[in-house]
């Protein structure tokens, strides 16, 4: 297993129609706008709707490198390979007690959606997790109502393994929602 701490720099990972790369200062405005999106707020627990460009620049310069250096999360910006424009965030969080198991989290800004780039981003993230980090398994939780993510997850190679009842809180209504608990093993990743 390769620990995140051993990467001297956040790598650039080619994913065909997307690239995963280190977030940079120039992403802050698009990131702030993406975080305010209603679907990101609904489906990404803890996504800060009130993040400012300034607070995000601090997150990009200090928070993200600290996650990598501490081995707790591989955080990438999803970008357009031609223009390098920021499209969203893809990350693998690695629990300290189970360091060979990752949890995948992905969001794209509304302008970047609907072009099947989410599947490419998720696949590239999982390929990085299996090939570079030698993870044994990657998990994902997705709200039952989140049709796009459920489809994208299954196209990437995730299988539904169960239902986690009341796993997610919808901050706009205060209601809890069941989540699909999905998992992927190295041989499941779709090319
Ligand atoms: C979830 C999310 C990343 C999906 O991104 P997206 O750009 O909306 O998804 P895509 O358009 O690439 O994929 C969904 C659609 O493409 C289709 N699709 C995706 N990959 C495909 C493939 N390889 N082959 C065929 N169809 C595919 C899906 O069937 C679906 O089709 P539809 O047109 O019938 O809806 C995005 O909606 C988002 O950021 N949502 C808010 C945050 C969130 O929910 N994150 C997940 C929490 S775990």
pLDDT digits (tens, 9 = 90+) for 3-51: 898 999 999 999 999 999 999 999 999 999 999 999 999 999 999 999 9
Rounded Cα distance between 54 and 113, Å, is 25
pLDDT at 55 over 90: yes
Which pLDDT score is estimated for 24? 98
Whether 160 is covered by a domain: the verdict is: no
Q: Which token pair is 160? A: 């539904």
> CB of 79 closer than 6 A to ligand 1?
no
Whether 154 is covered by a domain: the verdict is: no
Whether 32 is covered by a domain: the verdict is: yes
**What are the tens digits of pLDDT across the range 107-126?**
999 989 989 999 999 999 99
Which pLDDT score is estimated for 171? 86
pLDDT at 98 over 90: no
Whether 125 is covered by a domain: the verdict is: yes
Measure Cα distances from 142 to 87, 154, 160 in Å.
20, 11, 10
> CB of 148 closer than 6 A to ligand 1?
yes
pLDDT (average), residues 67-88: 96
Rounded Cα distance between 111 and 66, Å, is 29
Report the domain count for the chain.
1
Whether 15 is covered by a domain: the verdict is: yes
State the chain's maximal CA–CA distance in angstroms: 43
Which pLDDT score is estimated for 191? 84
Residues of the domain holding 98: 8-137
Whether 33 is covered by a domain: the verdict is: yes
**Residue-by-residue DSSP string for 64-79:** HHHHHHHTSEEEEEEE
Which residue reads 């997307």 in tokens?
18
Say how many C-beta atoms besides its own lie within 10 A of residue 117's C-beta: 21
Which pLDDT score is estimated for 97? 85
| CB-based contact 132:94 (threshold 8 Å) | no
Whichever domain contains 51, its CATH number is 3.40.630.30
Whether 168 is covered by a domain: the verdict is: no
| CB-based contact 140:128 (threshold 8 Å) | no
Rounded to a whole number of angstroms, the CA Rg of the chain reads 16
If DSSP codes are grouped into helix, strand and coil, which group holds residue 107?
strand
| CB-based contact 124:20 (threshold 8 Å) | yes
Task: Give this prediction's pTM.
Answer: 0.94
> CB of 181 closer than 6 A to ligand 1?
no
> CB of 146 closer than 6 A to ligand 1?
yes
Residue 103 CA, ligand 1 centroid: distance in Å: 18
pLDDT (average), residues 60-64: 97
Residue 58 CA, ligand 1 centroid: distance in Å: 30
Residue 118 CA, ligand 1 centroid: distance in Å: 6
What percent of the chain shows pLDDT beyond 70? 100
> CB of 31 closer than 6 A to ligand 1?
no
Q: Is the dihedral of CA 83, 27, 123, 2 positive or negative?
A: positive
Measure Cα distances from 151 to 102, 122, 147, 155, 170 in Å.
20, 12, 6, 6, 20
Whether 189 is covered by a domain: the verdict is: no
């Amino acid at each position: 297993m390769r620990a995140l701490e051993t990467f001297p720099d956040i790598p650039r990972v080619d994913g065909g129609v997307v690239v995963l790369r280190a977030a940079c200062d120039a992403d802050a405005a698009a990131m702030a706008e993406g975080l305010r999106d209603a679907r990101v707020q609904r489906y990404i627990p803890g996504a800060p709707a009130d993040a400012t460009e300034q607070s995000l620049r601090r997150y990009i310069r200090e928070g993200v490198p600290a996650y990598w250096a501490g081995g707790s999360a591989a955080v990438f910006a999803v970008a357009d390979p031609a223009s390098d424009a920021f499209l969203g965030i893809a990350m693998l969080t690695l629990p300290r007690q189970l360091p060979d198991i990752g949890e995948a989290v992905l969001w794209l800004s509304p302008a970047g959606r609907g072009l099947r780039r989410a599947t490419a981003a998720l696949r590239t993230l999982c390929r990085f997790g299996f090939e570079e980090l030698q993870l044994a398994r990657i998990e994902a939780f997705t709200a039952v109502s989140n049709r796009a993510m459920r489809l994208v997850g299954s196209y990437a190679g995730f299988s539904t393994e169960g239902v986690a009842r009341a796993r997610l809180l919808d901050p706009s209504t205060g209601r809890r929602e069941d989540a699909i608990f999905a998992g992927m093993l190295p041989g499941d990743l779709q090319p």
